[in-house]
Amino acid sequence: MVYHSSFVDEEGITKACGCPLLPLKSHIKGPAPSSDQTDIVDEAITFFRANVFFRNFDIKSSADKLLIYLTFYINVALKRLEGCRTLAEGTKAIINLGLENVPVPGESGFPFPGLFPLPQSQREAELLRNYLKQIREETSGRLLSVAYRHNGTPNKWWLAFAKRKFMNIIVP
């Protein structure tokens, strides 16, 4: 059974292209509201190793769509970390991944066409792009802390999942 997000209450949550801009425990500047509690990034990392095995994902809330996006992003990040033997190499690879362009629905390179509706304006597209960039950077930083041990060596129990295909999508 696939794990779903606990963020189902959407009252007061801003959306862009149907994607909820959920609060984050983050020091990274961006459009996400600040929070001290467990956030969607914590859920995505916690549920990743179980959810990556599923080819289908029953969406129960719009937060599940964001969880799908983050699960795919973690898969991409682990693929980049696969050849990195030290935390320093991994950090460099993740920083380079963070510098890449972040596509939004309707643009080439967006991994899930149809998951989110197309933006109604350029402003909405930029809001979603900035949120996805912020959440990707936050996810990358937290992922490094689980993908590498305290001594800087790779954690094989995490990096082994780089070979998995989430929802049958091949990671480049």
List the one residue out of 106, 100, 98 whose CA is nearest residue 124: 106
Between vectors from CA 142 to CA 138 and to CA 144, what angle results, nearest 5°?
Answer: 120
Residue 50's pLDDT is what? 84
Residue 139's pLDDT is what? 93
Local structure of residue 1 (DSSP, 8 states): -
What average pLDDT score do residues 80-94 get? 92
Give the domain ranges of the chain.
15-163
Instruction: List, for residues 5-59, the tens digit of each pLDDT value.
Output: 778 766 778 899 989 999 999 888 999 989 888 889 999 999 888 888 777 778 8
Least confident span in 98-107, 117-126, 145-154: 98-107
- Give dist(CA 17, CA 47) in Å, integer: 24
Classify 15-163 by CATH class: mainly alpha
